[in-house]
Structure 1
Amino acid sequence: MRTHAEADTVVIGGGVVGMSIAYGLVKAGDKVIVLDEGDDAFRAARGNFGLVWVQGKGAGNIDYARWSLASARRWKAFGQELESLAQIGLELKQEGGLRPVFAHADLDRQLHEMAAIRDAIGCTYPYERLNAADVRKLLPSAGADIVGAIFSPMDGHVSPLRLLRALVSAFVRLGGSLCTGEAAQRITPRTDGFEVITMRRSVRSGRVVIAAGLGCRALAPQVGLEAPVRPERGQVLVTERMQRFLPYPTPHVRQTGEGVIQLGDSKEDVGFDDGTTTRELGRIARDAIRYFPLLDPVNVVRAWGALRVMTPDGYPIYEASRECPGAFLVTCHSGITLAANHAGAIADWIRGASEPSELHRFKANRFHDFHVQTAAH
């Protein structure tokens, strides 16, 4: 027999994206219920590298560059507030990040992208080119194959699992209700809002936010929206704890607050298979040793695969339903970097504030043209 509940807003999805929005809503005074499928779901946070990252993002979409930069700038205050409420350390460090490369052509291409973003973004966008000697001054253990890097003080990293735990803790402390093991089966529009049905309960609310990762694809059409998302597998390794040698994160190797080394840069189109392969894990490990040879004798203690949530062009979808007013869709790949925006500007928009100007290019109808262009090529 189903139980019944009511809320101002129901958020479907208890991952980093959904919980960031739910935290922002409850902090603003909403009565919020989060329906979360649970840890048996394809939790993207398991495969997240924990980067709060700006450099290079939005080379093909300047609105995304602005959106990422705005969130990164808000992250320090957002993180401090969350740590204070949840009493959980996030291991946040925003002192810069490096993108080391093995080929001069790759460095030239990345610099061209960075310059294009800087020229178009219309605000401060700091970065610098490092040659091989510069890299070794910052990272004495860097491998001999590294020919240079881009350093940006905008970037940093955080523990994605500590972040998720802190969001849940702060949300509940502020009066939010988290229902775990409650996958949304059906969303029914009503004259006064929505009814969301799970196996165990029905929840009525004035608004509904679909932030269910890969589950968005099936749920969005029920409220007149579309979410053409697909899984992308990433494989991850972590080592035993080491003395600190890596003061800055890179997109391939980072040292966590606990001292372990996290490795991973794979992007695989394998459907809903979240397993691992020795071939890909071996490649990740070899590349990591090439970046930092001192990792060669270090023990790997765990390896796993996780599924990221990707749209056809890799950019987010933020959309309010015209067919069913009060229904919203939020799905993105960079849930960590964008968490501060999701808890702030996106939560405000859902509650009735003006839509952030950057979001106009992140509607799902862009994929109608995208598919035509892809077919033409």
Structure 2
Amino acid sequence: MDVIVLGGGLMGTSAAYFLAHRGKSVTLVDTGPIGAGATVASFGNIRRTGRYLPQLPLAHRALGLWNDAEKLLGQDVEFRATGHLRLIFDPESRADMRRFAQDARPWGLEIEELDATDLRRRFPGLGPDAIGASFSPDDGSANPRLVAPAFAQAAARMGVEIRPNTQIRSITHSDAGFAVDTSRGRLQSPILLNCAGAWGKDIAARFGEDVPLTTHGPQMGVTEPLPYSIKPVLGEWSQGHGVYLRQVERGNIVFGGGVTRTPVNPDPGHATVNPASLAQQLLGLIRILPALRNVAVIRQWSGCEGYLADNLPVMGASGTTPGLFHAFGFSGHGFQLGPGVGDAMAELIATGICDTPLAPFDIRRFAV
């Protein structure tokens, strides 16, 4: 075996797939079902607008793979490039948007600014109080419930051994490589890839690489189905926690944001929503889409996400242990990056270099 991947979310399953595509033999281990952690709790946003600028090359790489996802995976994971529309309600947020658009242009992202008249003409019924919006037409959304299992299934067809619901009892390192003792036997490999999400901190700490990671859960919900009419993903430029929503083709409105995320104990990692926050979320949603005023919310959910102190992920080689690699802590904005993360980590592991710059995400930035 060439590589052991720890973690069966989008990062781990896509990394396993792209490693196999590069001819590596891989075993993937997860303590729970595939895709049942932060991936399944995700909103499903394929968004480049508002990102940390040095992250845009990785986001561009990921978007190319999202566009090819159905061909790569052999199934539809409901990626739709319907655009990302972000409404503006005050002059300060408009200044933020314009500053980001100008700064992002050299990084290869073009954002269209809409004034209030353009917004009403092109997207009637949205944000009656909005003074404008930004529009990124190539972005969109995908189904978080489908994508990690799809990558795992595609990887399995290429020879990857997928081991869900497998407890990790110990991890050791020697000159021979890594030995991972699990509830289903011992695995040995010269390379270990840590894609354990909110639990990635614990794996890294075993090798002397502690990071300032905390665990929180998003406040997500979905409404009853409505006639399908809203194609772009909707959000807002906000000085605080902005709301966001999208309509799936079956008609339901999926929404999140607008409130502070709730703390989650990573052991056992069972996240719960705060029902008291729903009213605040709904007020923000109605500001964007007044037609939701009399619509029923049929379900709420959350999940365990890992947030690093600087809200940037850890990606790249370990600073202490040869053969150890990390890709975790995506701080609530990793879904869009997922396929790009897997592809980039596979390239780095297989060749020793990566065409996409990863230096800003090096774990050694937290070394003391």
Is the counterpart of residue 360 in structure 1 residue 339 in structure 2? no
Residue 216 of structure 1 corresponds to 200
* Pick aligned residue for 2:13 from 19, 30, 34: 19
TM-score after normalising by structure 1: 0.87
- Contact persistence 2:116–2:131 (CA under 8 A): yes
For 1:1-377, what aligned pairs fall within 5 Å after superposition?
A: 7-39=1-33, 43-58=37-52, 62-77=53-68, 79-84=69-74, 88-119=75-106, 121=107, 124-251=108-235, 252-265=244-257, 266-268=259-261, 270-272=263-265, 274-331=271-328, 332-333=330-331, 334-356=333-355, 358-367=357-366
Shift of 1:66: 2.5
Distance 1:163 1:18 in 2: 12
In 2, Cα distance between equivalents of 1:286 and 1:360: 40
CA distance in structure 2 between the aligned counterparts of 1:127 and 1:357, rounded to whole angstroms: 22
Q: Is the 8 A contact 1:53 1:154 kept in 2?
A: no
Structure 1 stretch displaced more, 188-197 or 322-331: 322-331
- The alpha carbon displacement at 1:357 in A equals 5.0
Q: The residue matched to 2:76 in structure 1 has which SS?
A: coil
Contact 2:57 2:356 in 1 (8 A): no
Partner of 2:238: none
> Once the 2 structures are TM-superposed, how far is the Cα of residue 322 of structure 1 from its aligned partner?
4.6
Q: TM-score, structure 2 length as denominator?
A: 0.89
CA contact under 8 A between 1:193 and 1:206: conserved in structure 2?
yes
Number of residue equivalences: 353
How far the C-alpha of 1:215 sits from its partner, in A, is 1.1
Contact 1:263 1:285 in 2 (8 A): no
Structure 1: stretches of 5+ with no match in the other structure: 1-6, 370-377
Amino acid at match of 1:43: G
Shift of 1:82: 3.0
CA drift of 1:276 comes to 1.5
Deviation at 1:42, TM superposition (A): 7.0
2:37 & 2:173 partners in 1: Cα distance?
Answer: 27
Structure 2: 5+ residue stretches without partners: 236-243
2:35 and 2:145 in contact (8 A); partners too: no
Post-superposition Cα deviations, 1:88-144, rounded to whole Å, max 9, x if no partner, equal 31111113211112223212222112212224x2xx321111122212222222131
Question: Is contact 1:43–1:307 with CA below 8 Å preserved after alignment?
Answer: yes
| One-letter amino acid of the counterpart of residue 314, structure 1 | N
Per-residue deviation, residues 127-170 of structure 1 (Å, max 9, x unmatched)? 11112221222222213122211111232111111111211211
Q: Give the AA of the match of 1:302.
A: R
Residues in 2 aligned to 1:355 and 1:165: alpha-carbon distance in whole angstroms: 26
Residues 10 and 71 of structure 1, relative CA distance in 2, 3 Å threshold: same
Query: Any idea what SS the aligned residue of 1:351 has?
Result: helix
Residue by residue over 1:238-265, the C-alpha shift from the partner in whole angstroms, topping out at 9 and shown as x without a partner, is 0122211211002301012332110101
2:272 alignment partner, SS class: coil
Q: Deviations over 1:246-296 (max 9, x none)?
A: 110023010123321101014425242621122211111221122111111
CA distance in 2 between counterparts of 1:64 and 1:12 reads 23
Q: Is the 8 A contact 1:209 1:327 kept in 2?
A: yes
Identity of aligned residues (%): 26
The code of the aligned residue for 2:261 comes to: E
CA offset at residue 171 of structure 1? 1.4
CA contact (8 A) 1:51 1:337 kept: yes
Q: Which moved more, 1:104-113 or 1:204-213?
A: 104-113
